[in-house]
Amino acid sequence: MKLFSVIGNPIMHSKSPRMHNNAIKNFGFDALYTRYNLEDEDKLRDILFNLRISGANITLPFKEKAFKIADVKDESIFDIKAANTLIIKKSKIYAYNTDILGFLKAIENFENLNKVLILGAGGTARAIAYALKYKNIKEIHIANRNLKRFSSFKDFITMLYEDIDDFNYDMIINTTSAGLFDENLACDKKILEKIFNYSKYAFEVIYNKETPFIKLCKKHNLIYKNGLEMLLWQGIFAFELFFEIKNQQNNIKKFMLEGLNLE
């Protein structure tokens, strides 16, 4: 039997086991997908080999570490230097980032995107910024509440929220955790309202609640999505890598949605 796991800290809330195990069951694979709460990131490599894990999804806060410990890195992740999917084959770790593909799939119906603002400057912001760059979006701006993380956004224009003076964006994306455990917005509501008056599209990475950001999107009649499709599609792409299957995306999607109990 093959063993797969999602690895992070905290990890109890992760929906990945439900998604993957239902797909595994329905495809009839001899495999099990579990979760692992990792305390010490320096143990990541040992855990993968000691538990004989065939593949793993890596989540907060170990995506950069996952990139570092990999022996073979997919070309698409050289820029973002973060991996969310690891495959272990013949004593080697192969690293991928299916968050990039998951995000692009989630926004594939959003048209005429030339100028995009990303709120937040963490790992997800970086994956999304490069996803948009690969999509040839011309202007990608990153705003955050402090400067300290901007050094990993050298390919983009960065600014503090209070320095935003051009509010004309086609899409605004919230990658911050503001609103996840509280009722906060990432920045002053007035700034967001000015941007929302121009924007056509919005994207919120949080998927399990109606955040203040989503409420504001509704108020301003924006076309918006939450992070559910991104979550789902990063899982579908990871599942394809785990089991080396192609042309089964519709079935994987159906089984993963069932696993999430959302269909």
3-state secondary structure at position 74: coil
State which residue, 29 or 179, has the beta carbon closest to ligand NDP. 179
Question: Which of 63, 65, 225, 253 is an active site residue?
Answer: 63
Question: Active site includes 63?
Answer: yes
Length of the chain (residues): 263
Site string for ligand NDP, 36-75 (x = CB under 6 A): ------------------------x---------------
Task: Determine, following the binding rule CB under 6 A, whether residue 11 of this chain makes contact with ligand NDP.
Answer: no
- With CA atoms as reference, report the closest residue to 55 among 100, 106, 98: 98
We find the least distance from the C-beta atom of residue 39 to ligand NDP, in angstroms, to be 18
State which residue, 50 or 146, has the beta carbon closest to ligand NDP. 146
Q: How many CA atoms lie within 13 A of 236 on its CB side?
A: 24
Complete edge-to-edge strand list for the sheet that includes strand 2-8: 31-37, 2-8, 53-58, 85-89, 92-96, 72-73
Q: How many CA atoms lie within 13 A of 62 on its CB side?
A: 27
Task: Determine, following the binding rule CB under 6 A, whether residue 146 of this chain makes contact with ligand NDP.
Answer: yes
Task: Determine, following the binding rule CB under 6 A, whether residue 180 of this chain makes contact with ligand NDP.
Answer: yes
**Paired strand residues for 3:** 32, 53
Task: Determine, following the binding rule CB under 6 A, whether residue 124 of this chain makes contact with ligand NDP.
Answer: yes
Residues 89-108, interacting with ligand NDP (CB under 6 A): 99, 102
Task: Determine, following the binding rule CB under 6 A, whether residue 17 of this chain makes contact with ligand NDP.
Answer: no
Distance CA 122, CA 150 (A): 9
Complete edge-to-edge strand list for the sheet that includes strand 201-204: 157-160, 139-144, 115-119, 171-174, 201-204, 223-225
- Stretches 73-81, 122-130, 209-217, 255-263: which one binds ligand NDP (CB under 6 A)? 122-130
Task: Determine, following the binding rule CB under 6 A, whether residue 178 of this chain makes contact with ligand NDP.
Answer: yes
3-state secondary structure at position 87: strand
Q: Which of 145, 194, 200, 254 binds ligand NDP (CB under 6 A)?
A: 145
Tokens standing for residue 227 = 């992070």
Count of chain residues binding ligand NDP (CB under 6 A): 27
- 121 in Cβ contact with 144 (< 8 Å): yes
We find the least distance from the C-beta atom of residue 182 to ligand NDP, in angstroms, to be 7
Task: Determine, following the binding rule CB under 6 A, whether residue 170 of this chain makes contact with ligand NDP.
Answer: no
Determine how β-strand 157-160 pairs with β-strand 139-144.
Answer: parallel
Task: Determine, following the binding rule CB under 6 A, whether residue 205 of this chain makes contact with ligand NDP.
Answer: yes
Distance CA 181, CA 105 (A): 27
Task: Determine, following the binding rule CB under 6 A, whether residue 121 of this chain makes contact with ligand NDP.
Answer: yes
Please report, as ranges, the residues that interact with ligand NDP according to CB under 6 A. Answer: 60, 99, 102, 120-125, 144-146, 149, 175-178, 180, 184, 186, 205-207, 227, 230-231, 234
**Catalytic positions, please?**
63
